[in-house]
Amino acid sequence: MPAAAGVKVSIRGLSMRFPAEAGTVDVLQDLDLDVREGELVCILGPSGCGKSTLLNIVGGFVRPTAGTVTIDGVRVTEPDRRRIFVFQERGVFPWLTVEGNIAFGLHHLPDGERRQRVEHYVALVGLGGFERTYPHALSGGMKQRLEVARALAVNPDVLYLDEPFGALDSITRLQMRGELLRIWQAERKTILFVTHDIDESVQLADRIVIMSARPSTIQRIVEVDLEHPRDLSSRGYIEVRDRIFEEIGLAHKV
Amino acid sequence: MLRRVLIASSGVAVLLAAWQLAAAAAAPSLLPGPLPVVRAVGELAVKGLLLRYVVASLFRVTWGYSMALVTAVPIGIALGLSTWAERAFNPFIQLLRPISPLGWIPIAILWFGVGDLSAIFLIFLASFLPLAVASMHAVHNLDETNLRAGRNFGLGRLALVRRVILPAAMPQLLVAMRITLGIAWLVVVAAEMIAVNSGLGFLIVDARNAGNRYDLVIAGMLMIGLIGLLLDSGVRRLERIEMRRRGYGA
């Protein structure tokens, strides 16, 4: 099937089966999904539904049992420096300073240009003054920003974020979402964002892909037609949120 | 700091006093006291033997140990990265491991004769296996996330080893290097008792064989301990720099 115009990432018939103690476990079953260029798509699902597996397959780290992922029409078989995966802050290299981490993917550039880029991204994620600091001395949120900066510095066209703010406290998490949106609007990357947090997905996404429990399929795709910055108490926001709660089969009361 | 120095030096003083008392109580031929030993160290220094033997021992350790280091670490990393290579070679390594390096002395002499090469070979053997095994384990313990991040930035195998695997494994490697250097220093003394005729190990057997000079024996032992201590604290310092950088026990 030819991809529609403007489609960046195209997933077709994707299935994943893992060996288990007794036989096998089907994690993903026959997924189809298109992500448009410059789009921010959240993949939302309960823990263990295989959404991280999906992202790892799209990132080229894991081979699917069946189906294909193509980006710009080219099949993905291995990781690629044009598409960077951001792990929940664990991806920063503890043996490199903030500067060293951001410069990691810029090895091939001449010194001057490399320095310029590092400077730019240090500033973009608000780590000015911490250039020579090692990650252990940074807070969780700063480490997360550092990893995002390292990813952006190589100027990728796609970012994969796997529950990137999951380990942060709720205040930092809110700030980081704002930062991510700001960066996304400035740089217009295509972003695939895995989360289990309904509010997070409604705050960020152009579209929310709701995954079913294992073996996962795409249960529904919800368009979020709300301008940024989003008003978290507006009717539109609450309507989208309620729809997702309903879709997942959760009563909206605890 | 001052307190620590005081406590440490009073410990040494107590031990010295006990040694002196024991030497006074025992027959002089059984245990030389501290003073004769100090005199023996002086005698060795004056004859120029002290420096010569220390240099000879360090020379052998340096060669054997560094040859092991540059071969064992790459091989250990390769084994750690490749499942089939590990399956093929690990049983062999585990079989060799329990054999004391000293068990190799006859073979070493057969192959390399009596001389430096034999001793260097023994130190190489003694250092190689622990370093290779430690490197292999260090690779197994790597954070998969770091590896994936490295691959994501387009690193090939060699670049991945140089820029991700080695630095990520460095804390573990440094610990293995320190422990192995200790082993190498233990082995050189033993090897020198049999395979060569210089060095601190040779000094000890020679002093006994040539006239029961137990003051020289103890002087040699003292030097061995002292240099071992210096080597250990040298590598420990490297380790601490690395650990501090990463925020462990800063």
CATH assignment at residue B125: 1.10.3720.10
Q: Do residues A176 and A203 lie in contact, with contact meaning Cβ atoms separated by under 8 Å?
A: no
**Rounded distance between C-alpha atoms, residue A68 and residue A78, angstroms:** 12
The answer to whether position A2 is within a domain reads: no
Judged against a pLDDT cut of 80, whether residue A250 lies above it is answered with no
Q: Which residues of B touch A (CB under 8 A)?
A: 143, 145-146, 148-149, 151-154, 163-164, 167-168, 170, 245-248
Q: What local confidence, expressed as pLDDT, does residue A253 receive?
A: 59
Handedness of CA B161, B164, B167, B173 (dihedral sign): negative
- For residues B149-176, give the mean pLDDT: 92
Q: What local confidence, expressed as pLDDT, does residue A1 receive?
A: 44
Q: Which of B153, B165, B170, B239 to mutate to test the interface with A (most CBs of A within 10 A)?
A: B153
Q: What local confidence, expressed as pLDDT, does residue B194 receive?
A: 83
- Considering only residues A70 and B26, tell me which one the structure prediction assigns the higher pLDDT: A70
Q: What local confidence, expressed as pLDDT, does residue B23 receive?
A: 87
- For residues B201-230, give the mean pLDDT: 89
**Rounded distance between C-alpha atoms, residue B168 and residue A91, angstroms:** 12
Q: CA triplet A48, A52, A54: central angle to 5 degrees?
A: 110
Cβ <8 Å between B146 and A93? yes
The answer to whether position B27 is within a domain reads: no
Q: Do residues B100 and B90 lie in contact, with contact meaning Cβ atoms separated by under 8 Å?
A: no
**Could you read off the pLDDT of A81-120 as tens digits, one per residue?**
999 999 876 889 999 999 999 999 998 899 999 999 999 9
The neighbour count for residue B105, using CB atoms within 10 Å, is 20
Instruction: Work out the minimum CA distance from B231 to partner chain A, whole angstroms.
Output: 25
Q: Token pair 């792990």 is at which residue?
A: A87
Cβ <8 Å between B246 and A95? yes
The answer to whether position B13 is within a domain reads: no
Cα of A17 vs its chain's centroid, Å: 23
Q: What local confidence, expressed as pLDDT, does residue A2 receive?
A: 47
B/e letters for B87-96, b = 16+ CB within 10 Å, e = fewer, are eebeeebeee
pLDDT band at B24 (very low <50, low <70, confident <90, very high): confident
- For residues B57-62, give the mean pLDDT: 94
Q: Do residues A102 and A109 lie in contact, with contact meaning Cβ atoms separated by under 8 Å?
A: no
- For residues A64-83, give the mean pLDDT: 93
Backbone φ, ψ for residue A34 (5° rounding) = -115, 135
- Considering only residues A5 and A124, tell me which one the structure prediction assigns the higher pLDDT: A124
Q: What residues of chain A lie within 8 A of the CB of B248, using their CB?
A: 136
- Residue whose C-alpha is closest to residue A190's, from A222, A220, A219, A155: A155
Q: Which of B142, B145, B152, B161 to mutate to test the interface with A (most CBs of A within 10 A)?
A: B152
A84 → closest Cβ in B152, B163, B164:
B152
Residue A69's DSSP bridge partners are A11
Q: What residues of chain B lie within 8 A of the CB of A94, using their CB?
A: 168, 246-247
A137 → closest Cβ in B146, B149, B247:
B247
Minimum mean pLDDT range among A4-13, A243-252, B127-136:
A243-252
Instruction: Work out the minimum CA distance from A85 to partner chain B, whole angstroms.
Output: 7
| The two three-digit tokens of residue B150, written as one number | 């490295």
Alpha-carbon distances, residue A102 vs A82, A108, A154, A186, B152 (angstroms): 15, 13, 9, 18, 14
- Residue whose C-alpha is closest to residue B80's, from B143, B151, B138, B127: B138
The answer to whether position A237 is within a domain reads: yes
**Could you read off the pLDDT of B104-138 as tens digits, one per residue?**
999 999 999 888 899 999 999 999 999 999 999 99
| Structural domain for B229, as ranges | 35-245
Instruction: Work out the minimum CA distance from A127 to partner chain B, whole angstroms.
Output: 18
Which chain B residue has its CA at the smallest distance from A106's CA? Answer: B153
Q: What is the mean pLDDT of chain A?
A: 89
Q: Do residues A40 and A206 lie in contact, with contact meaning Cβ atoms separated by under 8 Å?
A: yes
The neighbour count for residue B6, using CB atoms within 10 Å, is 10
Q: Is the peptide bond before A156 cis (omega within 30 degrees of 0)?
A: no
3 state DSSP class of A210: strand
Residue A223: give its domain's CATH number: 3.40.50.300
Select, from the ranges A19-33, A39-53, B58-72, B191-205, the one with the highest average predicted confidence (pLDDT): B58-72
| The two three-digit tokens of residue A84, written as one number | 């960077």
Cβ <8 Å between A105 and B143? no
The answer to whether position A63 is within a domain reads: no
Q: What local confidence, expressed as pLDDT, does residue B167 receive?
A: 92
Domain tally, chain A: 1
Select, from the ranges A14-28, A139-153, B53-67, the one with the highest average predicted confidence (pLDDT): B53-67
Q: What local confidence, expressed as pLDDT, does residue B248 receive?
A: 62
Angle between helices B214-245 and B166-194 (to 10 degrees): 180
The answer to whether position A60 is within a domain reads: no
Q: What local confidence, expressed as pLDDT, does residue B250 receive?
A: 40
Instruction: Work out the minimum CA distance from B217 to partner chain A, whole angstroms.
Output: 46
Q: What local confidence, expressed as pLDDT, does residue A129 receive?
A: 92
Query: Which strand ranges, in their side-by-side order, compose the sheet holding A40-44?
Result: A83-86, A158-162, A190-195, A40-44, A207-211, A218-223
- Residue whose C-alpha is closest to residue B207's, from B58, B41, B10: B41
DSSP H or E stretch at residue B42: helix B34-47
Cα of A227 vs its chain's centroid, Å: 20
Instruction: Work out the minimum CA distance from A98 to partner chain B, whole angstroms.
Output: 12
- For residues B184-192, give the mean pLDDT: 91
| Structural domain for A190, as ranges | 40-53+80-248
- For residues B142-147, give the mean pLDDT: 90
Q: What local confidence, expressed as pLDDT, does residue A3 receive?
A: 46
- For residues A71-89, give the mean pLDDT: 90
Q: Do residues A202 and A244 lie in contact, with contact meaning Cβ atoms separated by under 8 Å?
A: yes
Domain tally, chain B: 1
Q: What local confidence, expressed as pLDDT, does residue A168 receive?
A: 80
Q: DSSP code of A41?
A: E
The neighbour count for residue A226, using CB atoms within 10 Å, is 17
Q: What is the mean pLDDT of chain B?
A: 89
Alpha-carbon distances, residue A7 vs A183, A184, A222 (angstroms): 21, 18, 18
The answer to whether position B17 is within a domain reads: no
The answer to whether position B10 is within a domain reads: no
- For residues A17-30, give the mean pLDDT: 88
The answer to whether position B14 is within a domain reads: no
